[in-house]
Amino acid sequence: MTTQPVRVVVFARQQLVLEALAETLEALPGLRVVGRASTVPGVLQLLGPVPVDVLILHALVRQDASLELARSALEQVHDLGIVLVTEPGAADLTRHALQIGVRGWVRSDEPLERLVSAVREVGAHEVFIPVSLMSSVLTPPQPGATPESTRPPLMRLTPRQYDVLRCLMDGHSREETGVLLHMSPNTVRTHIGAILRRLQVHTTLAAVAEARRSGLLGRSAEEASTANGVGGLGR
């Protein structure tokens, strides 16, 4: 059976960067560049009539403009995978982008292979974020910080959804989660979809971040703390 290539749209302000990226990606197996744009209206127009799996978004100078473009793109194509390419040190932008629904992040000074890997992972509905950023993205807010009032509490999840979320917190894949919980991959995928909807987030990484901020323990941490007489977050 032939695998469907990942359909990519490339956005970059600089025409030279745009053309070089698009031509390089087009030459790689399993990737197909279906559009390229150097303006915000141009890239949004491409997302209408053309089926797109991944949008490569070179961050604009203004961070809020980059986030607004990502938000507008996701409003047009809800399951669109976005890979954000930013300057080094843009951790704050990355945190906000992940909350919006961006699933990939690559620094502009990294080798092309990193971007290709990100496109392939995001095209497969996974998350691609450097390990170096994980701690900053998943770190709970400082005491006194106001949580987002629009997010529903974790208490709305069912016990089985809690189990799935705890597996994700431990870094297990969908297949591994299915084995641990004696579920089929399709059932795990269904539970993950329900978790994302109930937490009002777009990615599993954002769901894990929300769980950590709320004090939920992963399966391994819960087992360890329970053995010491401390239970996890109540159901």
CATH at residue 36: 3.40.50.2300
What confidence category does residue 61 fall into, taking pLDDT thresholds of 50, 70 and 90? Answer: low
Domain that holds residue 79: 6-137
What confidence category does residue 8 fall into, taking pLDDT thresholds of 50, 70 and 90? Answer: very high
Strand 6-11 relative to strand 31-37, pairing: parallel
Same domain? For 125 and 162 the reply is no
Same domain? For 99 and 129 the reply is yes
Q: How far apart are CA 71 and CA 21, in angstroms?
A: 23
At 42 the pLDDT is 92
The residue that leads in pLDDT, 224 or 51, is: 51
> Is the pLDDT confidence value at 176 over 70?
yes
Whether residue 73 is contained in a domain is answered as yes
The residue that leads in pLDDT, 90 or 181, is: 181
Q: From its phi and psi, is residue 20 left (phi > 0), alpha (psi between -120 and 50) or beta?
A: alpha
Same domain? For 94 and 196 the reply is no
Q: Which of 137, 164, 182 is the last residue of a domain?
A: 137
At 190 the pLDDT is 84
Mean pLDDT of 127-131: 74
At 131 the pLDDT is 61
Whether residue 105 is contained in a domain is answered as yes
Both tokens of 220, joined, read 């391994």
Domain count, the chain: 2
> Is the pLDDT confidence value at 151 over 60?
no
What confidence category does residue 230 fall into, taking pLDDT thresholds of 50, 70 and 90? Answer: very low
The residue that leads in pLDDT, 185 or 63, is: 185
Same domain? For 68 and 124 the reply is yes
Same domain? For 122 and 205 the reply is no
Same domain? For 117 and 160 the reply is no
